[in-house]
A and B are shown apart, each in its own frame.
Chain A
Amino acid sequence: MASTDTGVDTEKDGSTAAEQNRDAYGLVGLEAGLDALDSVQSGRTQLRETLIRKVLPPVTAVALVLIVWQLLVWANVAPDYKLPAPSDVWGEVSDARVQGTLLDYIWTSVSRGLLGFLLALAVGTPLGLLVARVAFVRAAIGPILSGLQSLPSVAWVPPAVIWLGLNDKMMYAVILLGAVPSIANGLVAGIDQIPPLFLRAGRTMGATGLRGAWHIVMPGALPGYLAGLKQGWAFSWRSLMAAEIIASSPDLGVGMGQLLENERNNSSMPQVFLAIFLILLVGIAIDLLIFSPLKRWVLRSRGLLATR
């Protein structure tokens, strides 16, 4: 039989008496039943479970690293000007906090990094949209954009210094050159992964051109775009640190990269460790506070987040 419907007994209560009102009432009840049976139940995880599943493992890992570090110090594997004890590094933290300079270092770098990242966002987003949607542009600069991603942005520091001088402009230029390709490529990848069905549906609804880009393409590409932003931030931060380490000048405020370089010159290993930890911590913090929640929110609202 061509029909696939035969042999299925649908449960219509009282179908014998329902000859005259076979539609309305029975259908409502039937639909309500089907809806209740088929609907997806989604709940949030408990706080305690979150602590055990998400917080405990990384805390354990950090504790283990500290223990191994301390053991190495006790075992005297290296002289203390090469390997300071964890307590020495912690001592530098409290010193710098007492002097009130720690937050200054952090703020100088973070404000530079975030502003540079926002600039990269403003440049990379339209660029990615153009590359993804205009065949000629994609053929022309798509490969270059992908290639630029693998070029270490430190390479841009020397020419940027020559072109722009030792100032904040140079820092922003290096951040842009590092982050724009990641953001644009992330958006291109996100757009390429939109199911063609959504684009067809959008077109039949009259969403073409800029309206299509705003209502269909951008929201459809959001997961890939966010991945690009996350990578873009990582590249911004790395580029900035490279720029700060290489290009130090009294005119520039002391950021974390300069801190690292200055303390290397002072041969103060605890301070060097401190600077490295701070750079790492800021990178992790921005990711945890901004990008991870954004990503989880996007995936959760689309039902793409596996609960287990």
Chain B
Amino acid sequence: MATTIAKAAEDATAVTYAARVEHVSKSFPAPGTPGGRQRVLDDIRLDVAPGEFVTLLGASGCGKSTLLNLVAALDQPSTGTIATDGRPALMFQEHALFPWLTAGKNIELALKLSGAAKPERRAEAERLLELVRLQDAHRKRVHELSGGMRQRVALARAPAQDSRLLLMDEPFAALDAITRDVLHDELTRIWSETGLSVLFVTHNVRETVRLAQRVVLLSSRPGRIAREWTVGIPQPRRIEDSAVAEVSVEITEELRGEIRRHGQH
């Protein structure tokens, strides 16, 4: 059995990174108590190596989306520092494609905003659509695409932003199971073809084990890194593989343990 479950050793020798999160905490004003602060993230330390696929796993309210927003520089940490290799691309649960543009123009806009010259944009957009096997969708409006196709266009838009790091905030949560399964295959394929680093947020343990090289489990309130696993199952994996199931069982147990702690006080 190729499966290895081990606590990831902290790689102190790495000097290059796609993202480096150091001692990051984040507090928001607590509702109800004037002047009070609610700590959402507490002393998070996380490195994403170039080309690495990391998933952030946690129950609701563990601050995993907050952490992703911080890495995307949409918000500032209360303490600590975050460094990324270039501006990361961000993918959401909703596709976030602009409905006033065609699929192709959506990608071309991302290229334009990252400084690509006009003659290249059209060809590059076509190449990226081909990457997600949607070469015929160039002129299609967003509303003419299915949910899965929209997320594939969004997936193709991410490399167009000229970033080495793709942040994904539960991007497949709103899709049906069959489409999600296909998109897992696509994401794995594109990740290995492009060499992008991926930081993927989810609460779905099976999805985590299907995709990740490294799984980071966050505890809730405040979000702290509870445990890490390295998933050694070779890609391509299937969500129904027994090895995936086996690892999922262990991680699920740990996740449930984290959730139970909140019921005890």
Q: A43 → chain B, closest Cβ, in Å?
A: 11
Q: B25 → chain A, closest Cβ, in Å?
A: 22
A186-203 vs B, CB cutoff 8 Å, 1 = contact: the mask equals: 000000000001101101
Bound Cα distance from A30 to B255, whole angstroms? 33
Q: Does A220 contact B (CB under 8 A)?
A: yes
Stretch from B10-18, B39-47, B107-115 forming part of the interface with A: B107-115
B219-256 vs A, CB cutoff 8 Å, 1 = contact: the mask equals: 00000000000000000101100000000100010011
Closest to A26 in B: B185
- How many Cβ-Cβ contacts under 8 Å join chain A to chain B? 127
Q: A213 → chain B, closest Cβ, in Å?
A: 13
Residue pair A8, B178 in contact (C-beta under 8 Å): yes
Closest to A206 in B: B113
Closest to A23 in B: B236
Closest to B98 in A: A198
Which of B146, B161, B238 has the most chain A CB within a 10 Å cutoff? B146
Q: A206 → chain B, closest Cβ, in Å?
A: 5
Q: Does A31 contact B (CB under 8 A)?
A: yes
Given A34-B182, A204-B89, A303-B141, A28:B133 Cβ within 8 A: yes
Bound Cα distance from A38 to B144, whole angstroms? 9
From B90, B94, B113, B248, A207 is in contact (CB under 8 Å) with B113
Bound Cα distance from A42 to B92, whole angstroms? 27
Bound Cα distance from A156 to B203, whole angstroms? 61
Bound Cα distance from A200 to B75, whole angstroms? 11
Bound Cα distance from A284 to B204, whole angstroms? 56
A252-267 vs B, CB cutoff 8 Å, 1 = contact: the mask equals: 0000000000000000
Q: Does A1 contact B (CB under 8 A)?
A: yes
Residue pair B98, A200 in contact (C-beta under 8 Å): no
Q: Does B142 contact A (CB under 8 A)?
A: yes
Given A39-B145, A220-B98, A3:B113 Cβ within 8 A: no
Residues of A within 8 A of B145 (CB): 39-40
Given A8-B177, A197-B92, A204-B88, A38:B110 Cβ within 8 A: no
Bound Cα distance from A203 to B238, whole angstroms? 35
From B189, B206, B239, B255, A23 is in contact (CB under 8 Å) with B189
Closest to B69 in A: A200
Residue pair A35, B148 in contact (C-beta under 8 Å): yes
Residue pair A34, B141 in contact (C-beta under 8 Å): no
From A10, A201, A222, B181 is in contact (CB under 8 Å) with A10
Q: Does A302 contact B (CB under 8 A)?
A: yes
Bound Cα distance from A168 to B82, whole angstroms? 61
Residues of B within 8 A of A5 (CB): 177, 180-181, 204, 206-207, 239
B142-185 vs A, CB cutoff 8 Å, 1 = contact: the mask equals: 11111111000000000001000000000000000111111001
Closest to A3 in B: B206
Residue pair A38, B147 in contact (C-beta under 8 Å): yes
Q: Does B99 contact A (CB under 8 A)?
A: yes
Bound Cα distance from A289 to B172, whole angstroms? 43
Q: Does B74 contact A (CB under 8 A)?
A: yes
Within 8 A of B (CB), among A288-308: 298, 301-304
Residues of B within 8 A of A16 (CB): none
Residues of B within 8 A of A1 (CB): 252
From A10, A201, A303, B144 is in contact (CB under 8 Å) with A303
What are 26 residue pairs bridging A and B, where the CB atoms are less than 8 Å apart in the complex? Answer: A2-B204, A3-B205, A3-B207, A5-B177, A10-B181, A31-B186, A34-B182, A37-B146, A39-B146, A42-B143, A197-B92, A198-B96, A200-B92, A201-B92, A201-B96, A203-B74, A204-B88, A204-B89, A205-B110, A206-B113, A206-B114, A207-B113, A215-B113, A220-B98, A220-B100, A301-B100
Q: Interface residues, chain A, CB within 8 Å of chain B?
A: 1-6, 8, 10-11, 22-23, 27-28, 30-31, 34-35, 37-40, 42, 197-198, 200-201, 203-207, 211, 215-216, 219-220, 222, 298, 301-304
Q: Interface residues, chain B, CB within 8 Å of chain A?
A: 72, 74, 87-90, 92, 94, 96, 98-101, 109-110, 113-114, 133, 141-149, 161, 177-182, 185-186, 189, 203-207, 236, 238-239, 248, 252, 255-256
